[in-house]
Amino acid sequence: MNDIKEQLRIFNEERDWDQFHSPENLAKSVAIEAGELLECFQWNNDFDQRAVSDEIADVMMYCIMLADKIDINLEQEILRKLEENKQKYPVEKCKGSSKKYNELD
């Protein structure tokens, strides 16, 4: 993750693009790229693996850039959120169920 973060910093510094990367603009870019990801599946179930890979990479790069911008340690936060999700969705209550945590018995 740190290597990718560093490569993104260098890529943007070389182009002087950091000036455009406010947290708001980066958050909007995550949503825009997520829309492009959805577009890969629009109208049918067939999809272009390369196009999907491109859009997943775009979403992830903007997420990493946003986290970097506002000093979020992504690896740490993903692991923290996973632990939180384990508490919310105990295996014995949710296995095989798509119910939301507040609808579990």
Which residues sit at the interface with Mg ion, rule CB under 5 A? 33, 36, 58
| CA dist., res. 49 & res. 3, Å (int) | 25
What is the closest distance, in whole angstroms, from the C-beta atom of residue 45 to Mg ion in the complex? 21
Residue 55 CB coordination number (10 Å): 18
Q: How far is the CB of 31 from Mg ion (least distance, A)?
A: 12
Smaller CB separation from Mg ion, 8 or 36: 36
End-to-end CA distance of the chain: 38
* Residue closer to Mg ion, measured from CB, 52 or 94: 52
If the CB atoms of residues 23 and 35 are measured against Mg ion, the closer one turns out to be 35
Q: Which residue is nearest to Mg ion (CB)?
A: 58
Q: Shortest distance, CB of residue 58 to Mg ion, whole angstroms?
A: 4
Cβ atoms of 25 and 70 within 8 Å: the answer is: no
Strands annotated E in the chain: none
